[in-house]
Amino acid sequence: MGYLFLFRKKNFLLLLSTHVLSQLTIYIMNYLLLIQIFQYTGSSIATSLLWVSYAIPAILVGPVASASVDFLEYRKVLVTTNILQSLIIFLYGLLYMNSLYLLFFVAMSYSLLNQFYVPAELSSVPAMVDKKNLSFANSVFFITQQGSIILGFLGASVMKSSFGFVNSIYLCSLFLFFAFISTLFLPSKNAERKRKSDKIEVVILGFFKEILLGYKFIRKERNVSFPFLLLLGIQIIISVLVVNAPNISRDFLRINLDLAGIIMVVPASVGAISGGLLIPKLMKSGMRKIKIIKLSLFISAMAFLGFSLLIKMLPYINSLALSMLLLYFLGAAFMGISVPAQTFLQEKTPGGYRGRVFGNFWFLVTILSVFPVILSGFITDILGIQSLMLIIALAFIFSLVAINKKVKLTNRTRFKTAFQARFESLR
């Protein structure tokens, strides 16, 4: 049983292959389009609009798409979305021109179809494996998704520098065509629906009701709101950094944009892997989660201050080496914030609310990231990337100060409560 059993299942391998190809393609496309926009405009505002183009369908159509998928055959949804995405990308390569409107239209169209693809794919997993192996299957999908982020950005750099932009677009279309072929061989059976009698409008209203209930719970429970806001903030900062990656590579790393994916992703990924391996061991050894988070916030603040104040003062080789070192520490520090915060959130959230808190997390991230991402583009274009790095560093310092105040207040309250209880027992 377990992983070896899964890899002997033909249907699971077919679904996994389409998952990997789809994830690789979207991250390769993200990077290719991001670099193309920056090379064409030199503007971070324009690159931020690419992220908005992906976000708009997720905000407007995502809830409807997620609900409607349960009323369709999952296999047909996967087949249709894969072939349409492949066709859209192929036509973009065929009709390629230096038009931002066409590029944004392609991004929005791809994202629109993805709102149907993702829930159909996730809903198909229980139909491919039995309950005993479902946790293993979900683990494989999560690992491959994280790996696709790294390989996607690395692959985009290699593809663009080796084959050029248009040929790389054709390769992305080919990847999705292979994903389409894989889905053709999937069985037509749907996973069992929880509420077969529900109408689509009932499911959609239920989705927003769950969001509202989750929001009220998060706002009321401070033990939940603290780690939730930390995780939310980290994801927003990651979105801001991705959108401003061309500026970081040009102004700090001073390298060819086509190679930026390799130079930036490798040290950050190695740092994240190092942090992912070290943090659980520290927690298991008895180190408090809040202490790990505070240390990671401090490291992040120092790294962003280093980017803002030091990098451009150094000779090229020294600045490149220091930039890669800072990216490594940022990767590790982000894990040092995310892992303890998520663990703390899981521990403090009652079972009946976990679905509401975790299930709607990414929907909230998408909504709340729009303004910071656009604002970061304006800051970078008007004040420069160094100013943006300084603002992010100050945000981490502010978070660290706020946490210290919260910890002191909590300790004071606990001491007061314990003292009162002791006093009452002596009366």
Is residue 30 within 8 Å of 246, Cβ to Cβ? no
How far is Cα 261 from Cα 270, in angstroms, rounded to an integer?
Answer: 14
Residue 66: both structure tokens together: 């997620």
Q: In the chain, how long is the greatest CA-to-CA distance?
A: 86
Of the candidates 298, 293, 301, 304, the one whose C-alpha atom is nearest the C-alpha of residue 339 is 293
- Distance, CA of 283 to chain centre: 24
Our CA angle for 327, 283, 344, nearest 5°, is: 90
How far is Cα 46 from Cα 247, in angstroms, rounded to an integer?
Answer: 12
How far is Cα 11 from Cα 125, in angstroms, rounded to an integer?
Answer: 10
pLDDT for the residue numbered 352: 57
pLDDT for the residue numbered 149: 80
Residue 97: both structure tokens together: 């021109």
Of the candidates 241, 176, 246, the one whose C-alpha atom is nearest the C-alpha of residue 36 is 246
Give the phi and the psi of residue 190 in degrees, each rounded to 5. -85, 155
pLDDT for the residue numbered 419: 47
Report pLDDT digits (tens) over 115-144.
888 888 877 877 777 777 776 777 677 678
pLDDT for the residue numbered 18: 93
- Residue 94 has a CB neighbour count (10 Å cut-off) of 11
Supply the DSSP string of 57-121, one letter for each residue: HHHHTHHHHHHHHTTS-HHHHHHHHHHHHHHHHHHHHHT--S-HHHHHHHHHHHHHHHHHHHHHH
Is residue 160 within 8 Å of 260, Cβ to Cβ? no
Q: Tell me the residue ranges of DSSP E strands in 209-325.
A: none
How far is Cα 266 from Cα 273, in angstroms, rounded to an integer?
Answer: 10
- Distance, CA of 370 to chain centre: 14
Residues (pLDDT < 70) of the chain are: 1-3, 5, 67, 135, 139, 142, 189-204, 206-208, 210-211, 214, 351-360, 407-427
Residue 274: both structure tokens together: 């190092």
Domains in the chain (CATH in brackets) are 1-185 (1.20.1250.20), 211-427 (1.20.1250.20)
pLDDT for the residue numbered 423: 46
Question: Which residues lie below 8 Å from residue 332, measured CB to CB, with a gap of 6+?
Answer: 271, 272, 274, 275, 278, 296, 299
